[in-house]
Amino acid sequence: MDVLKYASEAYANNIKMVLFFSLPFLLAFLIPVLSPMPTFTAVGANFLRTGSMYIDLTSFDIAVIFLSFIISMFLISFAIVSINLIIKSQRTFTNIKKEVLDGIEKYVVSVFWLYTTAWVLILIVNLFSYEWNLNELVTPVFALAISLPIFYAPTAIVIDEQRPIRAMLTSLGIIKKQFGLFIMWVLIGAAALSVIDFLFILVQGIIPYAYLIPLTINALIILPFLIMLQVQIYLTKYTILK
């Protein structure tokens, strides 16, 4: 498929720049591990332990967790916007240095608030549903529902300079129009993350700090490529850029 070809070529042709802008992903993944935030590592990412949210936390722990979350979310937003700008510069023949200098601040702020709002809503639903022992059903359904409108939203914000609400509507439209490519993206992502999770299981207990291996692979290779593929799928809305 053309989108896979474009994404692979974009990653290979910009490998140094992609790795540089992907470092914030790695830092964002490591911060929760080093903070008092109750998390565990699986499939190359960190997940929150809901039950551990009810343990006694000091004011200092809460402050560190809050600060860690803000920094991690900002780093993730910065990395996503930067990788989107790499594709935008190639497909629209603009200067990447000028794009980064002129637009990255407003893009990052928009993506940051978009992701932060979504994360907070999911956390609230998770905590309330946990009280009723429904979190295993309610939280995944709600997370899926809220992830669809923000799936292509960062790309719409960067590529078309749309406002967050408009970008969310555009995301739903792209998913509907290119549902097959959306499913392809999900399957590729699931397969890649499953492979690194299997790798983690193999080396766990053998190599010290083995959890860093899947986190690093995900941050520097898998996630950047998936974002590039996501942008290429989004750009199919412009026939001339296919």
Domain range list for the chain: 2-241
Give the sign of the dihedral formed by CA 112, CA 74, CA 195, CA 86.
Answer: positive
Question: How confident is the model over 122-141, as a mean pLDDT?
Answer: 80
DSSP state for residue 238 in the 8-state scheme? S
Decide if pLDDT at 5 tops 90.
no
* Vertex 177 angle, CA 171 and 182, to 5°: 70
Cβ burial 64-75 (10 Å sphere, 16+ → b, else e): bbeebbebbbbb
| Structure token pair of residue 195 | 């492979």
Residue identified by tokens 């290979």 is 12
Question: How confident is the model over 39-53, as a mean pLDDT?
Answer: 50
Question: How confident is the model over 11-27, as a mean pLDDT?
Answer: 88
Contact 85, 96 (CB under 8 A): yes
Task: State residue 43's pLDDT score.
Answer: 44
Task: State the pLDDT confidence band at 93, using cuts at 50, 70 and 90.
Answer: low
Please tell me the distance from the alpha carbon of residue 136 to that of residue 146, in angstroms, as a whole number. Answer: 16
Task: State the pLDDT confidence band at 40, using cuts at 50, 70 and 90.
Answer: very low
Q: Which of 88-102, 105-119, 185-199 has the lowest mean pLDDT?
A: 88-102
Task: State residue 49's pLDDT score.
Answer: 53
Task: State residue 237's pLDDT score.
Answer: 82
Report the mean per-residue pLDDT for the chain.
Answer: 81
The residue among 97 and 119 whose pLDDT is bigger is 119
Please tell me the distance from the alpha carbon of residue 107 to that of residue 210, in angstroms, as a whole number. Answer: 34
Question: How confident is the model over 212-235, as a mean pLDDT?
Answer: 89
Please tell me the distance from the alpha carbon of residue 77 to that of residue 153, in angstroms, as a whole number. Answer: 12
Angle of the 2-13 helix axis to the 15-34 helix axis, nearest 10: 90
| Structure token pair of residue 51 | 């039950």
Please tell me the distance from the alpha carbon of residue 153 to that of residue 146, in angstroms, as a whole number. Answer: 12
pLDDT in tens, 175-218: 999 999 999 999 999 998 888 878 777 777 777 776 778 888 88
Task: State the pLDDT confidence band at 242, using cuts at 50, 70 and 90.
Answer: very low
Task: State the pLDDT confidence band at 26, using cuts at 50, 70 and 90.
Answer: confident
| Structure token pair of residue 62 | 């809460």
Distances (CA, A) of 78 to 73, 109, 110, 181: 9, 9, 10, 25
Task: State residue 146's pLDDT score.
Answer: 93
Q: Which of 44-58, 126-140, 160-174, 226-240 shows the highest mean pLDDT?
A: 160-174
DSSP bridge pairs for 41: 46
Task: State the pLDDT confidence band at 241, using cuts at 50, 70 and 90.
Answer: very low
Task: State the pLDDT confidence band at 48, using cuts at 50, 70 and 90.
Answer: low
